[in-house]
Amino acid sequence: MSQPRRHNASLAPHRPHILVIGGAYGGLSTIVNLLNLSIGNKQLASPIQPPELNIKHDPQPVITLLDERDGLFHTMGSPLAHLSPTFAHEAWLPFSQLKLLSRGGVNILQGRALHINMSSNVAFYLDAKSGSQRQIAYDYLVVATGTKREFPIVPSALGKKLLSRGGVNILQGRALHINMSSNVAFYLDAKSGSQRQIAYDYLVVATGTKREFPIVPSALGKKVYLEDVGVFVAELERWDSISVTLSDGEEIVCGKAIYTTFKHQARTKFLPRDVVDENGFVKVRNTLQFAHPHHSSLSHFAIGDIAAWTGIKRAGNAFIMGQFTATNILKLILHAESQPQPNSPREGKEGEVELVCCPDMEPMMALNIGDNVVVYQFGRRVQWGEELKERVVGRGLGIDVCSEYLCLKDAACFL
């Protein structure tokens, strides 16, 4: 079994190998920030910035990305992706088409992580193309596999080509109501018998459904109804239906029920059980390193939704955690290369190198509803309105905001 090489400044230059498992918001944030910082640039703009490194590492570390999918899916825009084939195509960005990754020399592997040997720093995975088990040695590991979300919260496909083959099953009847956060609505045209769609910021409600349904917190001081924010309420004929009974006994009749409240499960089954908590989330230090006492934990990081950290699990937090992790990994690399003996931080005592601490993440959430957005921030009053949508969420349920931070559409943003 191959062993990870120990980098030593007294020997020939060695390019440390950084393996990132998970290519969503947290994983890509780590990679983007590693590429940016290793060439001597300043920290990327961020709500919470780590201290500047002001270094240039030569040669650059080797970075490998391992992910089950063949690209990044914009999870925040999932409701819109289900509605619009055009947006679905935009929301799935194959890694092979991300110029930033190719220019940065990032190796892309499509496969599923099976097991991590922390003692030898070797990862085992199932290769998607060959179907065979393979292994890869690393010097530093970043786990950013996120949580498992069931369809239709996110697509079940692992490739963009498979996503394009999907469709919507229409139940027999005159109308079908699919509502995901007030963004998806379909109906069956009675004359043509063909499926029609209503723009994602409109909602079709069946006869008998309450019109006065509050959609924003009462803390705003008044009730706001769907019709007040431009959501059209239409009276439709009855159709073959099912009923859903709520905990208070109220019965809702609908054409199809879509469950979007599944309990998220951390994708950490491939990790040793002693590094995760009872719910499967990785126990981390404030440096985002594994909290396990094993000496190799110092070279293992967990970020994003799988980290047992403060705050609401959201994309913005994953971006910040990726930036702090990239900063700490480069600090560890520089420290290891400055040692006169072939020792690495994972073989020494904690505290040999001063790392940056990720701050606690205060609860924050922005919920897009039609043409409006509701914003909650801990310790502040709840805000809502159309003017906040462009500033906080933007087009495509945040796709432009995420793309800008990750430099996905501008490969020359810092390279």
pLDDT tens by residue, the chain, 415 residues: 333 444 444 445 678 999 999 999 999 999 999 999 999 889 988 889 999 988 877 788 999 999 999 999 888 878 777 777 788 888 888 999 898 899 899 999 999 999 999 999 999 999 999 999 999 999 999 999 998 877 666 666 676 665 544 333 322 223 333 334 344 444 444 445 454 444 333 333 333 333 333 333 333 334 444 444 444 444 334 445 667 677 777 777 766 666 666 667 889 999 999 999 999 999 999 999 999 888 788 999 999 999 999 888 888 899 999 999 999 999 999 888 877 655 444 443 444 789 999 999 888 888 877 777 888 888 788 887 787 777 777 787 788 888 888 888 765 566 6
Euclidean distance between CA atoms 281 and 220, whole angstroms: 35
Last residue of a domain, one of 230, 255, 280: 255
* Pair 157, 295 in one domain: yes
Euclidean distance between CA atoms 190 and 194, whole angstroms: 8
What's the confidence (pLDDT) of residue 374? 84
Other beta carbons within 10 angstroms of residue 119's beta carbon come to: 10
- Interhelix angle 315-337/25-38, nearest 10 degrees: 40
* Pair 226, 300 in one domain: no
7 DSSP assignment: P
What's the confidence (pLDDT) of residue 312? 84
* Pair 96, 61 in one domain: yes
Euclidean distance between CA atoms 179 and 148, whole angstroms: 21
* Pair 289, 196 in one domain: no
Contacts 24+ apart (CB under 8 A), 41-49: 41/414, 43/323, 43/327, 44/323, 44/405, 44/414, 45/405, 46/319, 46/320, 46/323, 46/405, 47/316, 47/320, 48/320, 48/359, 49/323
Residue 374 domain-assigned (yes or no): no
CB-based contacts of 151, cutoff 8 Å, min separation 6:
none
SS3 assignment, position 25: helix
- Cα angle value 351/352/356 (rounded, 5°): 55
Residue 159 domain-assigned (yes or no): yes
* Pair 333, 279 in one domain: yes
Euclidean distance between CA atoms 71 and 90, whole angstroms: 11
Residue 12 domain-assigned (yes or no): no
Residue 319 domain-assigned (yes or no): yes
* Pair 137, 217 in one domain: no
Last residue of a domain, one of 207, 237, 255: 255
194 class by beta-carbon count within 10 Å (0-12 exposed, 13-18 middle, 19+ buried): exposed
Euclidean distance between CA atoms 138 and 62, whole angstroms: 9
pTM for the model: 0.74
CB-based contacts of 334, cutoff 8 Å, min separation 6:
55, 57
What's the confidence (pLDDT) of residue 108? 97
Residue 2 domain-assigned (yes or no): no
* Pair 112, 203 in one domain: no
> What CATH number is given to the structural domain containing 79?
3.50.50.60
Euclidean distance between CA atoms 332 and 328, whole angstroms: 6
| Residue 180 contacts residue 76 (beta carbons within 8 Å) | no
| Residue 328 contacts residue 48 (beta carbons within 8 Å) | no
SS3 assignment, position 94: strand
| Residue 15 contacts residue 59 (beta carbons within 8 Å) | yes
* Pair 110, 218 in one domain: no
Task: Give the residue numbers spanning the domain of 219.
Answer: 172-255
Euclidean distance between CA atoms 109 and 68, whole angstroms: 8
User: Hey, what's the torsion of the CAs at 268, 273, 274, 275, to 10 degrees?
Assistant: -10
* Pair 245, 349 in one domain: no
For residue 369, the surrounding DSSP H or E stretch is strand 364-369
Give the CA distances from residue 110 to residues 19, 71, 155, in Å, rounded to whole numbers and listed in that order. Answer: 13, 9, 17
Q: Select from 208, 203, 162 the least CA-distant residue to 179.
A: 203
Euclidean distance between CA atoms 300 and 169, whole angstroms: 43
What's the confidence (pLDDT) of residue 231? 41
Residue 115 domain-assigned (yes or no): yes
| Residue 382 contacts residue 367 (beta carbons within 8 Å) | no
Residue 88 domain-assigned (yes or no): yes
* Pair 205, 281 in one domain: no
Residue 8 domain-assigned (yes or no): no
Euclidean distance between CA atoms 107 and 104, whole angstroms: 9
* Pair 241, 216 in one domain: yes
SS3 assignment, position 195: strand
Pairing of strands 140-143, 300-302: parallel
* Pair 301, 333 in one domain: yes
Last residue of a domain, one of 227, 255, 283: 255
- The domain tally of the chain equals 2
What's the confidence (pLDDT) of residue 37? 93
Taking each continuous run of H as one helix and of E as one strand, the counts in the chain are: 8, 18
Q: Select from 148, 128, 10, 121 the least CA-distant residue to 69.
A: 128
